[in-house]
Amino acid sequence: MAEDLERVKKRVEELREEIRKHDYYYYVLNQPIISDAEYDRLFRELQELEEKYPELITPDSPTQRVGAPPAEEFAPVHHAIPMLSLQNCFTQEEFLEWDRRVRRLLGGERPVYVCEPKLDGLSVELMYEDGVFTVGSTRGDGYVGEDVTRNLRTIRQLPLKLLPLDGRVPRLLEVRGEVYMEKEAFRRLNREREERGEPPFANPRNAAAGSLRQLDPSITAGRPLKLFCYALGRVEGLEIKTQEELLTLLARLGFPVNPLWRRCEGPEEVFEFYRELLERRGDLPYEADGCVVKVNDFSQRELLGEVSRAPRWAIAFKFPAEEATTRVLDIVVQVGRTGALTPVAILEPVEVSGVTVSRATLHNEDEVKRKDVRIGDWVVVRRAGEVIPEVVKSIPERRTGKEREFRMPARCPACGGPVVRPPGEVAHRCENLSCPARIKESIRHFASRRAADIEGLGEKLVDQLVEKGLVRRISDLYRLTKEELAALERMGEKSAQNLLEQLERSKGMSLARFIYALGIRYVGEHTAEVLAERFGSLEELANASYEELVEIPEIGPRIAQSIVDFFASEDNRRLIAELAALGIAPRSEAKPPEEKPLSGKTFVFTGRLSGLSREEARRLVESRGGRVASSVSRKVDYVVVGEEPGSKLARARELGIPILSEREFRELLGG
C-alpha cells in the first residue's frame, strides 16, 4: 500500500513539473510546446489523482492556482476579486455530471444557464472610475496581472468613456473580457511578418497575446486586436442580478458583447447551442474552442461559490481539439502553379476538430529549419476551420535520435527539371513552364470558385486532362469537345455537357476575377479588384508601366514588378490572345472618376485622437475621396498626429511628409 502511495506521489510530482513547464511556455513566453488537448489531459490526470489522494494536495500545485506569474517588464496589478479559470468538460456525460452537482448544491433547484462562445484569446480586466477607463490588466496568475493600459487603449472597440445609463455612470466598474484576433487578420499579419523576414505567430491566441504585451504601444496599435466583454469584478453604483442582464447592460454602456449568447433552460438546450456553434465554427471570424455555460442567477452563484481554482457556477464545454500531437512519417515536396516547391509533412493520422489529418503544410525550407521539423519528429498539428492543416512546431524533448533532417531536392519531383532558389526569395522553384505539376495547379487555380468559377472541373478531372494530353495550357480548356470529355473516366455525356456549359458561362467573368485567375504572382483577389477598377481593361493593365503601377496606393514595388514581368512574357501574352480569340471577354469594372476634395490624397494616423475614433476619421477621409494607409511611405500625403504618437511620426519627419495636428486635420476636412 505504501509502495502504491509512493508511486502515485511520484507521478503527481512529475505531472506538476510538466504542467508548470507548459504554463511557463504558454503564459510567460507565449510559445506553447504541446497542444491544448494534450495539456488538458495532463491537467485532468493530476486533478483526478489529487481528488483520489487529497493528502497529496499542496499549495503550490497547478490545480491550486490559475496561470503563471506576470512578466517583469510590466507593472503588477492586483485583482481585488481573483480572475479564476474555468473547469472543462468534453462530453455530454461530463456536462450532465456537472449539472447534477450544481442542482444538488442548489437543493434540487434547476438553474437557468446562459451559454456564450468560448474565445481563444487573452483575458483582461478593465477598470472604470466615474465612467472613465483608468487601468487595464492581463489575468496573470489570477491574483496579480500585468498593467497593459496603454496597449489596451489602442483597441478601437474598447470604450475610453462609458455611455451613461439614465444620465449616470457607475462610480467603479471592473469589466472582464477577452482580447482576440480574427482569423483573416491573423493570416494577413503572418503574411506581412513573413515578407519582412520575421517568424510567423503559431496561432491567433499567440498573436493577440504577443501584440497586447508589447512594450511599445505603437506596435500594438498596428495590430488588428478586438475585444469581447462578458463578466465583472468590483461594481459600485449598479445592481445586476443575472448574466442576461449583465450582457445587455454592458452593450448599453458601450462595451462590445458577443451577440451569439443564448439563455438555456436546461441541458438539452445547452447541447443544442453547443451543436449549432460547433457547426458554425469554421465560419466564425474568430477562433472558438467551445462554449462557456454559466448559471444565470447571481444569487445562485453566491450559493454555489467556488473551488480553489474555478467557480462552481460555470464550466467550459470544449470542442474537439483543433490542435493535436502526432508523428511525422515523411516529408514530401509538392509543386505549385508558379513552380514553387512546398514541403508537406506526411503524418501518422490524427483526429483534429473531428477530421482525420494525415498531411500538413510546412510552407518552405526556411520554415522547416526554423521550426526544426525532422522526419520521425513528434509535432503539434493545427487545423482551424477550413484552413489547410499546418505543423505548428516540433517537440525536440520527445526525440529518440533516429530522426532525419529534411533537404530540398535538387531536381523537380514532377518533371526532373532543375530546382533553383531566386535571390531574396524563401521558395525554391521549378522553372520548367511545361512541368505537368505546374500546369495542373494553374488550371485548378483558374477554375477555382473565386476565379473563373468553373463548377465540375475537379482535381481528378484536371489530372486526367493533363495526363492524357488534352490540356497543355489554360486556353485548351475552351477547345475541349463533348466527345473528348465523355470518354474520360467517371464522365458521361451529361457530365460532359454540364462542364461545357460551365466553361461557356465563365467566358463572361468579371475583369477582376479574370486578373486573379491568370495567377500573377502576389496578385490576390483584393489587388485584382484594385487593378480592374484602376485600368478598366486587360489591355490597359498589360501596357501599364512600373511607374504607373507603383503610384497606386495598394501596389508596392514587388507587386508592380511582378505584373510588369507577367505581361512582358511572350508566352503569357500569347495565352491572353488565345483566350480572347476563344471568346473570353471579361467585363470591365472601371468606375467613372468622381472629383472630391481629397481625391488622390493618402493619410496615415498615429496616436490617439481626442474627438473621434480612428474608424470615424477613416470614414471622413474616404467620404471626401481620400484613403487611409497603415504605414508611412513616400506615397503618403499627410500624417495626422494625436496624443502619444508612435514611430510613424519620426518616419514622417524623416521623409518630409506634412504633419497635421487633429485641429489642422479637421480644418482640412472643412470643419
**Which residue type occupies 118?**
K
Q: How many CB atoms lie within 10 A of CB 630?
A: 11
Helix (H) or strand (E) holding 304: helix 298-304
What strands, in cross-sheet order, belong to the sheet with 288-295? 87-89, 314-318, 288-295, 113-119, 262-264
Tell me the angle at which helices 183-195 and 204-212 cross, rounded to the nearest 10 degrees: 70
Distance (Å) of CA 563 to CA 224, 254, 546:
29, 46, 8
The residues that bridge with 125 in the sheet, in sequence order, are: 137, 176
Contact 534, 550 (CB under 8 A): no
The residue annotated as part of the active site, out of 9, 10, 21, 118, is 118
What's 554-565 look like in SS3? Answer: CCCHHHHHHHHH
Contact 95, 273 (CB under 8 A): no
Task: For residue 667, give the C-alpha cell.
Answer: 480644418
* CB burial of residue 416 (10 Å; 0-12, 13-18, 19+): exposed
Q: Using CA atoms, how far apart are residues 288 and 284, in angstroms rounded to an integer? A: 8
Give the 3-state secondary structure of residue 244. helix
Could you give the dihedral angle defined by the CA atoms of residues 139, 142, 147 and 148, in that order, rounded to the nearest 10 degrees? 0
Q: Using CA atoms, how far apart are residues 270 and 339, in angstroms rounded to an integer? A: 50
φ, ψ at 142 (rounded to 5°) = 95, -25
What's 636-664 look like in SS3? Answer: CCEEEECECCCHHHHHHHHHCCCEEEHHH
Catalytic residue status for 118? yes
Q: Using CA atoms, how far apart are residues 373 and 393, in angstroms rounded to an integer? A: 7
Q: How many CB atoms lie within 10 A of CB 490?
A: 9
Residue holding cell 468622381?
594
Q: Using CA atoms, how far apart are residues 316 and 556, in angstroms rounded to an integer? A: 45
Candidates 589, 523, 531, 532; CA nearest to 562 is 523
The residues that bridge with 475 in the sheet, in sequence order, are: none
Contact 139, 123 (CB under 8 A): yes
Q: What is the DSSP letter of 587?
A: B
Candidates 146, 148, 177, 174; CA nearest to 68 is 146
Q: What is the DSSP letter of 22?
A: H
- Helix intervals (H) in 24-65: 36-52
Q: Using CA atoms, how far apart are residues 229 and 254, in angstroms rounded to an integer? A: 10
Candidates 38, 53, 64; CA nearest to 8 is 53
Catalytic residue IDs: 118
